[in-house]
Each structure stands twice: as C-alpha cells, then as structure tokens.
A = this chain, B = another copy of it.
C-alpha cells in the first residue's frame, strides 16, 4: 500500500482547516490544550493557534455537551470531543433530548451545527469501560446523524458535510485507526480503491477486475482493516472475490449507491465490532432485506464481537473482539453453505 499520512494526521489537519476557514468553529472537551492536545492527540496545535475557540473543560461530559449545544444554538459550529466514547453515555440526554429534539420539536426548523466526536473500540487493552463500540445506542434518534471515520475518506470532507447538515452528528473514531495510514492513491498489490455514490459515500476495495463479487463485505470504518485483511487472504488463497464497502455515514443507512452492487453479489456480510443486539449491522441488514428481498441468494450474515464485556488482558480481549479471522470464517461459511 502506498505510503500516506496517518489517519490521526488527516483528522487533525481537517480540524485545523475548519478552524482556519471559519471563525465560528469551536472545539470543546477534556484535556485539549497543547502540549497535551487531547488524549489521542487529535487536537494537537489547535489551542495554540486558536486559544479562544478551544475550550478545555472539567470532567463534565453531560455539562460540556450542553455547553456545545448552547454554542451551536447561537449559530456556532461546534466540535465536541468525548475522551472515550464510553463516556458519551453520560451525555446521552443532552444529545438526544436536547440537541436532536431541538431541530424539530419547536415546530419549525432550528439548525444546530454540532459534531460529537467519540473514540471507540478495543484492541488497546484499556478494559471494559474504555473500549466499547457504542454506535448502536445512538441509532434511530430522529435528526441525529451517525458517522464514522474510515481509512478511505478524507476527514475534512466528512466534517464539512456534517456541519453543513445543520443537525447534530456523532462521529465515531476507532482508536486503532489513528496510527494507521490512509488507503489512498489508487491501489495496493491486490486491491483497487475507489468510491461509490455521488459524494463517495462508500469507499470500496476490490480485487482488480472483479465486477460480480462472490461476497460484498460491508464494514464500519473501524473494522475495515480487518475486513480488508480477510478479503486479501480469501482472494490470494482461493480467488474468492470480495468487495469491501466502507461507508462514512452509518445512520441513516443509505442503500442507494450500493444497491445494484448488492444485487449482483452472491453473499453479503456486515462487519462491526459491537456485540450483537440492536446493532448497526442489524439495521443495515433490515434495509437490505427490505429493498432486495426478491434478489437475495443468501441471508445476510453479521459479524460481531462475542457477547461479552471487553476484558483488559490482551489474550482475553483478543478472544472477545472481532478479528480478521471472524470475517474470513464468515465469508467462507457463507460460500460453503
């Protein structure tokens, strides 16, 4: 894969660009000031350049999301950082009962430009309260949009879209991606990268010259690298051709750009790190069944982590979390069945 910037650099650059271009942009959250620059360093350099618009807060996840709501209410564009997505549960009321509701509950449209960033996911040994994939809990709140960072999409464009929406958005960032490099500049040895949809909503990895895939694998940004690895093995070992699709928007799920591809696929697998139960994957499946019922050759298979809290020790964590092998095995099983 060609050498490219790290994803955390791309995200940091996106924020720098936002701040530079627009005086209405704020960032608010814990431990944001330089030299620390946020727990995952996403805020690096911002507080030095824009001291007035980077608000480092006390430990008050509910309170500072409320402050963000107030700033947004006055027309600002507010990016909020929750240190660990697990703590977004502390802000649930502000997000759902204030931010999302306010857009419509007063009978006329009240625009709110707000993005709540949530680092999520495990594989880092942070333990059960610092590793969850909390996306599922926020699905299905009217006027609350869910996005997720991917290895394919430019975060600058995604942030521009979220803020232009004028409705609150949650942006999930899988922690394992921060240090990885973006998938850009065309191809790697096996895969070609391209985008589907008018605005490139879906990043796609395909083995060269395969139009009718054996399997379409839809994966969240965070699990995309695992899906890609599985797809690579399947192709190299057995010439099983997967298209790996990675949307930058999770909810509402947008089937249009991929529905003709899905129709052509023999099998469909959806990958996410969350444990099963009310997940994004189930939501995706529900949409596909609804739209393509007559054309499906096989049921849709979901890949999840084991139904468990996420243990701390690496050997235990590994047993619980989705791995590339789980994706691999599920595709194989689909093809064998």
A75 interface residue per 8 A CB criterion: no
A51 interface residue per 8 A CB criterion: no
A100 → chain B closest CB, angstroms: 8
A256 → chain B closest CB, angstroms: 17
Interface string of A104-142 (1 = CB under 8 A from B): 110100000000000000000001110000001111111
Interface string of A253-278 (1 = CB under 8 A from B): 00000000000000000000011111
Are A128 and B101 interface neighbours, CB within 8 A?
Answer: yes
Task: Name the interface residues of A78-98: CB closer than 8 Å to any CB of B.
Answer: 86-87, 89-90, 92-93, 96-97
Are A299 and B290 interface neighbours, CB within 8 A?
Answer: yes
Are B289 and A300 interface neighbours, CB within 8 A?
Answer: yes
A283 interface residue per 8 A CB criterion: yes
Interface string of A281-325 (1 = CB under 8 A from B): 011011001100100001110100001110100000000000000
Are B309 and A286 interface neighbours, CB within 8 A?
Answer: no
Are B129 and A140 interface neighbours, CB within 8 A?
Answer: no
Contact residues in B for A136 (Cβ distance below 8 Å): 139-140, 278
- Nearest-neighbor residue (CB-CB) of A282 within chain B: B286
A320 → chain B closest CB, angstroms: 10
Centre residue among A104, A142, A307 by max chain B CB count within 10 A: A142
Query: How far is B93's CA from A89's CA once the two chains are assembled, in angstroms?
Result: 5
A183 interface residue per 8 A CB criterion: no
Contact residues in B for A90 (Cβ distance below 8 Å): 62, 92-93
Query: How far is B278's CA from A96's CA once the two chains are assembled, in angstroms?
Result: 14
Query: How far is B203's CA from A67's CA once the two chains are assembled, in angstroms?
Result: 47
A279 interface residue per 8 A CB criterion: yes
* Apart from A105-B309, A107-B311, A136-B140, 13 more pairs, CB < 8 Å: A89-B92, A89-B97, A104-B308, A105-B129, A137-B138, A140-B279, A142-B307, A251-B277, A278-B280, A285-B289, A286-B302, A289-B299, A290-B299
Listed in ascending order, the chain A residues whose CB lies under 8 Å from chain B are 62, 86-87, 89-90, 92-93, 96-97, 101, 104-105, 107, 127-129, 136-143, 251-252, 274-280, 282-283, 285-286, 289-290, 293, 298-300, 302, 307-309, 311
